[in-house]
Structures are given as structure tokens and as C-alpha cells.
Structure 1
């Protein structure tokens, strides 16, 4: 295999031609989430610790290949099947790949983009822990979309700002409720400030996305549980209350969005003392809006473990994992590591992915 480029694309020869492989990373919502679903603002970054890969091989027939672990259709018994469903639900990557195929085809048809190139076989793999709020599903879809752009040679015709919306549309096909934040971080890579105010969404169909220098970030840490509770229920009642005009939800969500705006300034000025307060306030507001029952005791415990040693902490997404900042440096980080180990949580430094946009991608940005 040829060495991967910065946007993690690889290719080599097989019997029918080039194969294409793309990698998409997990995502950490640093500040402002979940206001992206409510015309707010967020700051997120791509997390190099975990990723999904999709491989496209030219083939005689159009094939989507099930993953041997994530798309099980053969079980030891009915008990094995039911236990699997109770623990992990009706998940798997095949449905995600099918959905992005449909959405991508429709997008190109609507835009009069001709697709030439024949058939192919899609396969995928992922090491993103399930139900950790690290955007494992959208990573698979994002990697597949990148494969399509290169296989059909239409990368220059599909604007970067449109790609997160395509990824989200594929997930919406499957009933997955989410916002654009995760998909923007995975398409752009690096650290991105996002503004989803209503006028942008109405006029452009997407937000305004501003890449930031990843060197502005202080050392951050990831905390997660090996067997987290389902994070999907977190948005359940808040969305309806927001749509119904609940003043508390509307004002609280506006404050969450403003946290991202303040955090952008804090990062640019490297005012990490202010960052501590903003991260903690972000979580406190989420907790007030959603309530402990929706957030889950295990998720709350991860935040409380971080706070017990003086670290700032909040969810990376809608629960399942926490991003933490230790303002007192390595000694405090060691205390946090020890506290996580005692509580049974996994602790590791968060590694940030540099920007994933190549020259061809940047041209689509400049022409918008």
C-alpha cells in the first residue's frame, strides 16, 4: 500500500484496478455542544486516538461487505443473538454504508454530476469505542464519502461545506438524531470553530466553519468507560421543549452557544484559566437542561471523578466519554489518571488530528 497522505487516503493495485482507502477520526466536542442542533456555536476537534477506515475495491458487482464483528448475522444460539441486541442494539456499519450510497447518489443526481467508474466492493473497520459519544457512526460515513469522491473523481465538484450535511443526511435516513458539529470536525480535521446561527443555516444550508490552530489547545485528556450506557437518549425531551418555546431551555441553550464564542477568544489568547470555568459551566448547563436521569449516573460519575482532583471536564458528545483539562499540569494529570483507575475508567491523553483538507478541498472553500 502506498503511504497515506495527510487526509489519510491510500491506493494500490488489485486485479480490477486501484483500491481506495480513507480514514475518518473520532470527534471531541470541546465547548458549546449540544447547541449545534439549536442554531448555536461549538468548538470541536478531530481525535487521533480512534478512527474508522473504509476501503473501496473496484469489482464486477456492487457489494457492501459486512464486518465480521460489527455486522454479525451468525450466532451460537437465540440467547446469543438476544444478548447481543440487548447490549449493543441493532447496530453495524452496513446500514451506514448503504445510506451514504443513497444520499451521495441523490446529491450527484440533483447537482447534475455524472458518476463514472463502474462497480466496487465496500468494506470497513473501526476502533472507535461504541456508545462513547465520539461519533463512531459518522466516522464510517465520512470515510466512505471520501472514497466516493476519489473513486468518481468528483472531489472538486462537492464543496467541503456540503460534505458534513451529506454525512448527516445519511444518518438521518436511519433515524439517527444529531447535529452538524461532529461531521464538520471529521471532514475538516484539526480544531474548528462553528457558527450555526439560523440565518446561515437558512441562507447557506450549513453553518460558518473557521479552522483554528491546534497549537492553541492545552493538553487535554479523554476519560471513558468500557461499557458505557446508551448516549442516544440524552436529546429526548430537550428538543421538544425547545421547539415548544420553553424559555428555560431556550435561554440555557443560548448560554451554551455563547460559551463557545467566549472559548474561542480564550483559546486565541491562551487564557486557560478562563477555559476551566467555561468547560465546567458547559456541563453544568447541560445537566440542568437534561437532568441526571437522562445523562446517566455513570456519565455523571466520570465528570465528578475529574472534578474531584480539580480538573475541568465535560462530555465529548452526548455522553459516554469525557474530555478533561488539568490546569495545574502533569502532577494533576497523574492524580486524575489514578482517580480514573480507581473508579474503573479508561484514561488517556487526547491526541489532536491536524487539518485534513488538501489543496483540492481548499479550492472548493475559496469558491463558495
Structure 2
């Protein structure tokens, strides 16, 4: 982010009635146990991954509109869980985010396998970006070790981001 700290971004329509941007809130609680995993061969352009979601949204597609409302709720739930250090709820939010996306779009099966691979180690996972990369959380060093091993065997790269908080 360009703000030097993690940010909760609220794009509620009522805020846009008076401002040309979203409402941004600093997340003061550290994000712990985050990983990013990616495949060098599975990346795709946004247009392929997101397909016709914008058109479906603009046309009032009920499935897409309901998904957007669920995603909105998940962001609020995750923010509150982060503040309460509620790892179970954060895991559920991340997994549910992906599950919703998987229900309303045609995802590349190998990209879906990235998420399944991470989840089999006990970690949570969702796409970050347009495919070929996932982000999630792990609970402890033992889970991290399993995750790293499972991903490595599949030829998937993993990194642990160093999230810096600067005022």
C-alpha cells in the first residue's frame, strides 16, 4: 500500500456521494502469520480471471450482487476479528472469500488446486490478484512447515511478507 501501513478500505456508496474516494482506516493491529504463494506458470490477466463480472454486476445479476454483499460483510468481519485477534474467524473469512469467488466465476482448475493444496496443510487461502497467486494465514510453525513442504513439492513458491507499520 502507498500508506505505509495496512488499510481497511470501505467503498460504501454513501461515502462516494460526498467523496471521490473510499473511506480508509488504518489497521493498527499487526497482521500475523501471513503467507503468499505463487506459481510461475499459472498467472493470467485480470480480464481472463474476472471475465464478465463487471457486466454481470451492471446488469443486476443476482448471483454477483449477492456475492458483493457477502464480500462486504466479510471485510467488516475480518477487520473486527483482526482487532480481537480471533484467528478462527479470520481463517473463515479468507476461505469464504475464495469459496464465493469460485461459485460465481469459472476459475482455472490448476489455480483452484493452489488453494486446495494450502488448505490441506490446515492453512486458509484465497486468490490475491488475478490468479497464479494465493494469500492466506497459518496458525503456527508446524502448520507453516507443512504448508511450505506441500507447496514446494508442487513447484509452488512461497514467501512470508514483512509487513511494516510506519506513521
Q: TM-score per shorter chain, which class?
A: over 0.9
Distance 1:227 1:214, change over 3 A: farther
Q: Secondary structure at the match of 1:347?
A: strand
How far apart in 1 are the matches of 2:4 and 2:134?
Answer: 20
Q: Larger radius of gyration, structure 1 or 2?
A: 1
How far apart in 2 are the matches of 1:277 and 1:314?
Answer: 11
| Aligned residue number for residue 194 of structure 1 | 9
Contact 1:190/1:353, CA 8 A, preserved across alignment: yes
Distance 1:214 1:191, change over 3 A: farther
1:160-214 CA-to-partner distances (Å, cap 9, x unmatched) read xxxxxxxxxxxxxxxxxxxxxxxxxx22121111110112223200010001125
**Is structure 2 residue 129 aligned with structure 1 residue 314?**
no
1:109-154 CA-to-partner distances (Å, cap 9, x unmatched) read xxxxxxxxxxxxxxxxxxxxxxxxxxxxxxxxxxxxxxxxxxxxxx
Residues paired across the two proteins, number? 166
| Equivalent residue for 2:115, pick from 303, 316, 321 | 303
| Equivalent residue for 2:157, pick from 343, 346, 350 | 346
How far apart in 2 are the matches of 1:189 and 1:301?
Answer: 33
Contact 1:191/1:212, CA 8 A, preserved across alignment: yes
Structure 1 unmatched ranges of 5 or more: 1-185, 358-368
Contact 1:305/1:340, CA 8 A, preserved across alignment: yes
| Equivalent residue for 1:225, pick from 15, 31, 39 | 39
How far apart in 2 are the matches of 1:251 and 1:272?
Answer: 26
Contact 1:218/1:272, CA 8 A, preserved across alignment: no
| Aligned residue number for residue 324 of structure 1 | 136
Structure 2 unmatched ranges of 5 or more: none
Q: What aligned pairs does 1:198-217 form with structure 2 within 5 A after superposition?
A: 198-215=13-30, 217=31
Tell me how far 1:330 sits from its aligned partner. Answer: 0.4
Q: TM-score under structure 2 normalisation? A: 0.93
**More deviation, 312-321/257-266:** 312-321
Bigger strand fraction: 1
Q: Secondary structure at the match of 2:85?
A: coil
Contact 2:115/2:125, CA 8 A, preserved across alignment: yes
How far apart in 2 are the matches of 1:264 and 1:214?
Answer: 9
**Which structure exhibits the higher relative contact order, with contacts defined as CA atoms closer than 8 Å and separated by 6 or more residues?**
2
Q: TM-score under structure 1 normalisation? A: 0.44
Distance 1:194 1:349, change over 3 A: same
How far apart in 1 are the matches of 2:90 and 2:53?
Answer: 26
Tell me how far 1:218 sits from its aligned partner. Answer: 1.9
Query: RMSD across aligned C-alpha pairs, in angstroms?
Result: 1.4
Tell me how far 1:236 sits from its aligned partner. Answer: 1.9
Tell me how far 1:318 sits from its aligned partner. Answer: 2.5
